[in-house]
Structure 1
C-alpha cells in the first residue's frame, strides 16, 4: 500500500490529540513520499523530511531552532509505520532507525513570585486574569485548562477535576474566590482553546519584555506552581499535586503516596488561607506568594 493511501487510516486509528499533533508532519511525509509503497520508504527518506521540517519550522523564542519540529516529524513517522505494521501493510518501521535528536537542557525555570505578579498586571482582559489564576492555583497542564467543563467543579469540596495527559484525571484544590469565578455564568474559561490560550500569552508578552525574552507560556506557570508547593510540603506532595507518579516502582512509593487532603494542606499553607479538605493553616510561610487578586 502507498503511504498516501494509508494516511487517512492513521487519523481513524489515532486519538484526536495525537492526530492533531502529527497532522502537519504526516502531510509532509505524504508530500515527499506519498507515491512510495510503505515498505519502500527508508530511514534516510524519513531523515531527509525531518531535516526539512526543522528548516521550515516557525521561529519562536522557545523553538530551539526547529529541533522540536524535527523530533515531532520522527515521532509522527514512527507512529505512522507502527500503525501500518499493526494493520499488516508493512513489515518494518524505518523511522525506528532514525536517531531522535537530543534536546538541549531546557532554559525553563521557576519564575519568582514578583514575576508572577507582573504577569497578572500585564493582563489586558478579565478572562486572562482568571485563566492565569487557574494555572497558578492548580498547576495544570495546558490540556487541563482547555478541557475544563462546568461538570468538573466540586463546590462543596472547593476542588476541580483536571482532565489532562492521556485522559488522566485528578482532583485539585482551588481558592474560594476562584471557585466563585468558575461558577459564574459568564466565565470564559469553558470556551478556552489552544488558539485562545496562545493569544493570551501574545497579549501578556506584548506588555512584558522579559516574558517575551524568556518565551513564557503556560508550562512556566505549572513549573512555578509545583515548585511553590514543593517548598512548603516536600517532594511526595509536590508529585501528587503535579499528577506525577513517584519514581522507583518499589513498595516505598506506595506508602508515601499523598492524598487530596495532603495536597490541600500544602496548598493551604502556601496560600495562607483555609481549605475545606485541609486543617486550618497556621499562617503563610515566609516564602509564600503574595495574594494575587482575581
Structure 2
C-alpha cells in the first residue's frame, strides 16, 4: 500500500466518523442494528422439515445420510457444528461404510454426506436461520472422484441374462419386457416406472421418457418393443394416463421389482 492510499483510507475513516457523530449514531448502535435471526432449530427438528420439502429422488438419495446426522448431532443446533466437525463426521461415515465388491474406500459415502448437509444448510439459509457466509457445509470440500470402473456388458452375458429372466421367476414376461426396455433405451428406473400408455407413439415408434432432473425426451424404440409395450398395457389393464408397467394382478410395479430382478 502506498502512502497516498493510506492517506485516502484515513480520510474516508475520518469522514465516516464525522458523519456518525453528526447523526448521533455510535458504532455500537450499528452492531445492535444487525439482522436478528431466529434461534436455529436442532437437526432432529429441522431434518424432517427439509425431507418433507424436497423431491422424492432427493429424499431417497440423502435420507440415510440425514439420519446419520440426526444420530450424531440430533440435539445440536444448525449453527453449532464447524467445518472441522463436518470433516470428522464425513471421515467417520467413510470408515464405517458397508463394504461391497465395488467399494471405493467410502469416498462416495463421504461425498454424499457433504452433499446432504449442503442441501440441508441451503434450506436453512433460505429460511433465515443462518447467513450464507456462515454455511459450514460449503467450507468443506467433497472428496475427489476416482475414475469410473463401469464397463459395458458383453453381448453373450446380456443374452444369458435375458434367457434366465425369460425362463425363471414369478413373472418372466414382465422381467423380459423390463430388460428389453432398458437395453434399447438406456433409460433409468424412474423413466420406466413413469411410462404411461399415452406416452407411446406407435406411428413413429417413439416413447416419451420422463427421468431424473425433470428431463423429458422422445426415445426411438424398435417396432417389436412398441408392440410388447402396447400388449402389456392392454393385457394388464393400464389406463391411458396410468402407469404402464404392471404386475399380473394389475397393480403398478415399484422399485422393488428391480430388487427382485
Question: What SS does the corresponding residue of 1:39 show, helix, strand or coil?
Answer: coil
Taking CA–CA contacts closer than 8 Å with sequence separation of 6 or more, which of the two structures ends up with the larger relative contact order? 1
Farther off after superposition, 110-119 or 173-182: 110-119
Greater Rg by CA: 2
Cα deviation code 1:179-209 (max 9, x no counterpart): 1221223468343322321321xxxxxxxxx
Check 1:114–1:195 CA distance in 2 against 1; reply closer, same or farther (3 A cut).
same
Counterpart among 138, 145, 162 of residue 103 in structure 1: 145
- The ranges of structure 1 where at least 4 consecutive aligned residues each deviate by more than 4 angstroms after the TM superposition are none
Distance 2:193 2:91 in 1: 31
The question of whether the paired residues in 2 share the 8 Å contact of 1:145 and 1:192 is answered with no
Cα deviation code 1:86-129 (max 9, x no counterpart): 11011222111222112221111222322322221232323221
Question: What SS does the corresponding residue of 2:106 show, helix, strand or coil?
Answer: helix
TM-score for both structures, normalised by structure 1:
0.63
Distance 2:162 2:72 in 1: 45
Counterpart among 150, 153, 160 of residue 200 in structure 2: 153
Alignment of 1:128-139 (within 5 A): 128-139=175-186
Cα deviation code 1:246-287 (max 9, x no counterpart): xxxxxxxxxxxxxxxxxxxxxxxxxxxxxxxxxxxxxxxxxx
Distance 1:62 1:163 in 2: 29
Question: What SS does the corresponding residue of 2:79 show, helix, strand or coil?
Answer: helix
Alignment of 1:154-193 (within 5 A): 154-183=201-230, 184=232, 185-186=234-235, 189-190=245-246, 191-193=252-254
CA shift, 1:72, in A, is 1.0
Give RMSD over aligned pairs.
1.9
CA shift, 1:79, in A, is 0.5
Counterpart among 99, 102, 122 of residue 59 in structure 1: 99
TM-score for both structures, normalised by structure 2:
0.70
List gaps (5 residues or longer) in structure 2.
Answer: 1-39, 237-243, 247-251
Check 1:150–1:49 CA distance in 2 against 1; reply closer, same or farther (3 A cut).
farther
Confirm whether residue 20 of structure 1 aligns to residue 60 of structure 2.
yes
Farther off after superposition, 148-157 or 75-84: 148-157
Cα deviation code 1:224-256 (max 9, x no counterpart): xxxxxxxxxxxxxxxxxxxxxxxxxxxxxxxxx
Check 1:170–1:55 CA distance in 2 against 1; reply closer, same or farther (3 A cut).
same
The question of whether the paired residues in 2 share the 8 Å contact of 1:143 and 1:164 is answered with yes
Partner of residue 70, structure 1: 110
Farther off after superposition, 187-196 or 89-98: 187-196
Partner of residue 156, structure 2: 114
Partner of residue 94, structure 1: 136
